[in-house]
Structure 1
Amino acid sequence: MAKKYRELAEQVVENIGGGGNVDQAWHCVTRLRFNLHDKEKVNIDTIKSIDGVLGAQFSGDQFQVIIGNTVSDVFEEVEPLVGGSGGAPEGKGQKQGALSAVMDFISGIFTPILPALAGAGLLKGFLALFVTVGWLKDTGDTYAVLNAIGDSVFYFMPFFLAVSAARKLKTNEYLALAVAGTLMYPTFMNAANGFTDAKSFTLFGADFISIPVLSYASSVVPIILGVILLKYVYNLVKKVIPSVISLMFSSMITLLIVMPLTLWVIGPLGTNLGNGLSDIFLWLFTHAGPVAGALMAGLMPLIIMTGMHYAFVPIAIQNLNLYGNDAVLQPMMFISNLGQAGSAFGVAVRTKNKALRQMAISAGISATIGITEPAMYGVNMKLKKPFVYALGSSAVLGAFAGWYGFKAFALGGLVGVFSLPVFADPSGASAAIIIAIILFVLSLLLPFILVLILGFEDIPEDGTTVKADSEPKQPIATDKQGSIQSPLEGTIVPLKDVSDATFAEEIMGKGIAIEPSVNRIVAPISGTIMVLADSKHAIGIKGDNGEEILIHIGIDTVSLKGENFKAHVATNDRIEAGQVLVEFDRDAIKEAGLEAVTMVIITNTADYLDVLPLNESGPIFEGEQLLTLVK
């Protein structure tokens, strides 16, 4: 098994441009995440086709490879290949957008501490559940000890975030811990808790430097801002201090600058910022609960796909710290994750494809636990309708949860069946856990029923597509039909909607058009290259079974005279299905004022009874069946 993970890791690293192209690498529950120096080196289509990879995508400027449950095993093999965090020469990095940089930073500092958060949060959830059902009293020594274990991670949150933020920012972890230690020092904590009479602290006898008394226990934003300040101050001090005495004095001077500023300005600013964000979401769920719940639960899979759910983790922690509960992240993710599981289980029951059934069962179980990527990418999105059913049912139940005020009382890590205890009210009231169980059942059941009743386009054993809500049609005999694969990934456009009348009126033959989302054309069949225009924008292929196919990249792109096109084959070359034929720059084509829509035409249409597109609209993937030729 280790060999399998090593081979997978090697293929991934090779196709992201090698270890030298990696600035930082880490993983979350299901994905390998990379910050790259040059994203143009990524062979995303090749990565998607690797056995063991569920999908790959750019989220902002972060590249994500979706692995599933075995991601930690794969990452163990990836890490030595990228040299820890990578090491390309200076100046090779690419500038990130502001939003991408923020999202990347947040996910980078919270992902490493998820095991601690999950373990401690789930323990607190079970304690609340045991109190609710009467198995444990919240006044005994056992409860006190177990609660201390579960609460410690959250109480000392600044220490955990100090380490992960320092690693993400590539600054000294122990100085970052010193910042957290100062924030949590008993002098300040005792004053904040009212154990002393101090109301503020004056520094250097300057009345205007008045450090307010605040508790930084369980806080998130202040320590993150403090470590950001530490990074820049420490780097500056090290440049100024002579190297001979740098070891002794750089750290001391850095702390003397960073800590007063943090206690005086940054800490209070971060506290107010965190409290403000929590207040906004509290107001939203209080005054527009059904709308907020429907949007949050219904769109959660799309939020997860982009990795933006990490932006809500600090808010969830802050809400737990301020109000003792979280109504934003975990309740809606709970409903959404189970919705994906319910759809996958529905597919498992409805499909006639044995391989798909096995995949759907496995993915459904994973989603029930809280890992949704196998269900989303491997089953529901692939079949389209089950994904829509999951989104719709989650939105409906999210609206109810927002109206009712469904809350989590601890942070539970993977949000699924094992996180049920975090919805138990620590006060012992039973209503909260009863509602959680009801929502658990309904979140699974509603999309499951929708899939069974409304059906979907099934994938039988032979790979063709038929409706799962009707009897399979009798296939035409194989010697009377042929299939053409899609030569690129994109969105299907009916030929009649193309702006060039030659294609729209089917003068050259029947076919289909595709608005590309990638920059390459692959062979849709095996055969021979009969025509390759000097401008590289048009390829004529003679298939092994007599098919004559024209692939025309863009409209009026002959005017570019081959600029932004690169051919990988020549006339009379033998080709195999899936082989790369031409690469092109669709953005450059559009910048030239031209359309990049690509036509796939059967130029010997007269030799067939009909040429039938498999679909008239929607997304199409490279290698997916595109046209059927009926003789």
Structure 2
Amino acid sequence: MADNGKIAKSVIANIGGSENVENAWHCVTRLRFNLADKDKVDLDAIKNTTGVMGAQFSGDQFQVIIGNSVDDVFNEVEQRLGGTGSAKSSPAADGKKESLVSKLMDIISGIFTPILPALAGTGLIKGVLALLVTLNWMSDKGSWYQVLYMISDSVFYFLPFFVAVSAARKFKTSEFLGLSIAGVLLYPTMVNAYNTVSGGGKVAPIKLFGILNVPYVNYTSSVIPIILAIWLLTYVYRWVKKWMPDTITMMFTPMVTLIIVVPITLVVLGPLGSYVGTGLATGISWLFVHAGPLAGLILGATFPLIVMTGMHYAFVPIIMNNFTVLGYDTTVSPINFITNVAQAGSVFAVAVRSKNKETRQLAISSGISALLGITEPAMYGINLKKKKPFYAALAAGGIAGAFVSFFGVRAYAMSGLSGLTALPVYISATNPMNLLWLVVGIVMSFILAFIFTLVVGFEDDEVKTATVAEKSATPTKTIGGVSILAPVQGQIEALDQVNDPTFAQGIMGKGMAIIPENGDVVAPISGSITVLPDTKHAIGITGDDGTELLIHVGIDTVELHGQYFEPAVKVNEHVEAGQALLHFDLAQIKAAGYDPTVMIIVTNSADFTDVLPMNESGIIYPNEQLLMGIR
């Protein structure tokens, strides 16, 4: 299992350190960064970090592909960055110009990614409610329905508030002033007046300066008007703050800013954003109605490529806008769904055909993940590496995309992940065939990708088999297991007692700890040195029998950067059990304030039935049996 803390530490170190990070956030599978200086990134080092699936620049945004554990890794990243809500400099502070398209994509991604979980959760509730009502398992007049519907509709109805906060963070301005503007757009005066006018009634107009009419526009569930308003707020707030005296700026800068921004929003930006949104939704809908199969074919065959660049989040405002204007999305949501399933079909075909056990295991797990809507493990772990399965998935996605577009399949709510758990958002009491056509498209996409992959084939990973000579050279194992000796002299301690959660919780594997009495470290098994970092505080050994061991000297001693450590071996060197590996200055390490406890970890513990300590306590000496790995 990958160590999230180590992943975060490696990523931050190899993107130029925390001082090079202007902004950081994450989506479902990726860490995303805005960096002050892109030239400081060591791309190869990040890609070679255990637990990282890939890394790339997408425009001026740097992305590190993690997979399902991205949330846990981001928590570690955020702790090390000390918070990511404010940038240290503007994106153009280094004098480099961003392209307009790149900047726009970065803004869209940064605004909408943080609010997707709320939209996904409430959207799925709305889908489940539709299913329950359709099956007559719940009445749409009952109390439970009303409560659940309020939950499901709350985020979407009050979407300008959520977008205001996210946009303010992205534009680096006051979140609370942003909320104030959103509050004006959704104030009962505006909402009630719009409802009255749209129902054919009359309402007294609001006139500014006696000449400027404030149009009554429906801003519930809207996204473009509030983004434009927050964008204006950013510049006005900075401008006012420049000339406002420091003694009164706390009170009067917000006041003057709102007096300027709100009227401009109500008269110009709000209506403009609303009209743009309506036109955009109508235009896209027209395209899919009149050229549906062709549009679906093109988008279905290219959507995984868009996902690879990380720019699929640019479609989020289009999807939201479609829900606001049309009440459904018949464009991106269904296409995203069937292309995810196509990736699963290809990767399951790899699992069926591959003769390599590890490849099969990875293919099955990543295939299940793809069916649930997370395709990066399947794409980066299997399909892209083998190329032909990826091409098969593109072809299947294009064909199935044309099919669902031809039948006008619609998503009626935001689902977050486009996988099997999102099926409820395609249920409609007035359009019962909608779900059926989607299911047909899903099955078509999976089967086509599966068959195409089997037909075109792929280069399988080599299956390593031991020769007769290798088998005869395997050391004798004691009582059906692997004997692991003590590498240092000292007091035995249970691993769960060490003052490091990573080791104590067994995240790295099973093992034991020794509180050392001197600084001499010897090999606990015979094998090859596979790990010896520049900091020299740890040594990894792969035994001749396949046992993988990590000897880690001290807690947080990596911070010593190799001081007080003298290795006696090199990477790839073969050592015999009992051979000297390392010497460390125990007194100096203690004097520097570090815990010198030595951890001995079987990092491939999963390959053993169990790893048992031979003694629970007491003094142990080098070359005495410490652990027994039972196969």
- The two structures share one fold, judged by TM-score above 0.5: yes
Q: How do residues 225-374 of structure 1 correspond to structure 2 at under 5 angstroms?
A: 225-374=228-377
SS in 2 for 1:457: coil
Question: Which digits, 9 at most, give the CA deviation of each residue in 1:185-222, with x for residues without a partner?
Answer: 000100001177326320122x1x11111110000100
Output one character per residue of 1:511-559: Cα deviation in whole Å (capped at 9) or x when no partner.
xxxxxxxxxxxxxxxxxxxxxxxxxxxxxxxxxxxxxxxxxxxxxxxxx
- 3-state SS, counterpart of residue 3 of structure 2: helix
| SS of corresponding position for 1:33 | strand
Distance 1:388 1:162, change over 3 A: same
* Letter aligned with residue 415 of structure 1: S
User: 1 CA distance for matches of 2:80 and 2:98?
Assistant: 24
- Which residue of 1 is the match for residue 105 of structure 2? 103
Q: Which residue of structure 1 lines up, in the alignment, with residue 46 of structure 2?
A: 47
Look up the equivalent residue of 1:273 and give its one-letter code.
V
Question: What is the one-letter code of the residue matched to 2:76?
Answer: E
Look up the SS of the partner of 1:408 in the other structure: coil
**Shift in CA distance, 199/326, structure 1 to aligned 2, threshold 3 Å:** farther
Partners of 1:67 and 1:121 lie apart in 2 by: 25
Q: For residues 198 and 368 of structure 1, what CA distance do their matches in structure 2 show?
A: 51
The alpha-carbon deviation at position 426 of structure 1 amounts to: 4.5
Contact 2:345 2:367 in 1 (8 A): yes
CA distance in 1, matches of 2:442, 2:147: 30
Q: CA shift at 1:45, angstroms?
A: 1.0
Match among 202, 205, 216 for residue 200 of structure 1: 205
Contact 1:54 1:67 survives alignment (8 Å): yes
| 2:417 is the counterpart of 1:418 | no
Residue in structure 1 matched with residue 411 of structure 2 by the alignment: 408
Q: Write the distance in 1 (CA, Å) between the matches of 2:331 and 2:306.
A: 13
Confirm or deny: 8 A CA contact 1:409 1:426 kept in the other structure: no
Percent of aligned pairs sharing the same letter: 54
CA distance in 1, matches of 2:20, 2:337: 37
| Partners of 1:19 and 1:87 within 8 A in 2 | no
Deviation at 1:396, TM superposition (A): 0.4
Question: d(CA) in 1 for partners of 2:314 and 2:61?
Answer: 15
1:233/1:254 contact within 8 Å kept: yes
How far has the Cα of 1:168 moved from its partner? 0.6
Find the aligned partners of 1:93 and 1:24 in 2 and give their Cα distance. 17
Tell me, what secondary structure is at the counterpart of 2:31? Answer: strand
Take 1:191 and 1:363, find their aligned partners in 2: how far apart are those partners?
A: 51
Partner amino acid, structure 2, of 1:113: I
CA distance in 2, matches of 1:461, 1:49: 23
Confirm or deny: 8 A CA contact 1:338 1:443 kept in the other structure: yes
Q: Counterpart of 1:415 in 2: which secondary structure?
A: coil
State the Cα deviation string for residues 478-524 of structure 1 (Å, max 9, x = none): 9xxxxxxxxxxxxxxxxxxxxxxxxxxxxxxxxxxxxxxxxxxxxxx
2:196 is paired with a residue whose SS is coil
Match of 2:140 among 124, 138, 141: 138
Aligned length: 465
CA shift for structure 1 position 89:
6.2
Where does residue 168 of structure 1 map in the other structure? Answer: 170
1:446 aligned partner: 448
Query: In the TM superposition, what whole-angstrom CA distance separates every residue of 1:137-181 from its partner, at most 9, and x where no partner exists?
Result: 223332222111101110000000000000111100000000000
2:24 match: 25
Residue in structure 1 matched with residue 439 of structure 2 by the alignment? 437
Partner residue, 1:490:
none
AA at the equivalent of 1:412: S
- Equivalence map 1:178-189=2 (5 Å): 178-189=180-191
Q: What amino acid sits opposite 1:70 in the alignment?
A: S
Q: Is the 8 A contact 1:22 1:34 kept in 2?
A: yes
- 1:321 is displaced (CA, Å) by 1.3
> What amino acid is aligned across from residue 407 of structure 2 in structure 1?
Y
> Equivalent residue of 2:214, what SS?
strand
CA deviation after TM superposition for structure 1 residue 459, in Å: 1.3
Deviation of 1:87 (Å): 5.8
The alignment partner of 1:92 has SS state of coil
1:569-608 equivalent positions in 2, closer than 5 A = none
Kept in 1, the 8 Å contact 2:87–2:172? The answer is: no
Q: For the Cα contact (< 8 Å) 2:399–2:445, is it kept in 1?
A: no
CA drift of 1:88 comes to: 5.0
CA–CA separation in structure 2 for the residues paired with 1:404 and 1:309: 23
Contact residue 400 and residue 442 of structure 2 kept, 8 A: no
Q: Structure 1 residues 106 and 268 mapped into 2: Cα distance closer, same or farther (>3 Å)?
A: same
Is contact 2:342-2:449 (8 Å) kept? yes
Cα shift at 1:433 = 1.6
Segments of structure 1 that go 5 or more residues without pairing to the other structure are 464-474, 479-574, 578-631
Which residue number corresponds to residue 94 of structure 2? 92
- Per-residue deviation, residues 237-294 of structure 1 (Å, max 9, x unmatched): 1111101111111111111000000000000110111111111211110110001111
Measure the CA separation in 2 of the matches of 1:102 and 1:89: 18
**Alpha-carbon displacement from aligned partner over 1:408-428 (angstroms, at most 9, x marks no partner):** 11111100000011111143x
Structure 2: which 5+ residue stretches go unaligned? Answer: 471-569, 573-631
* SS of equivalent residue, structure 1 residue 446: helix
Q: Give the Cα separation in 1 of the matches to 2:429 and 2:10.
A: 48
Matched with 1:485 is none
Deviation at 1:22, TM superposition (A): 0.6
Q: Is the 8 Å Cα contact of residues 281 and 326 (structure 2) preserved in structure 1?
A: no
Q: Which residue of 1 aligns with 2:36?
A: 37
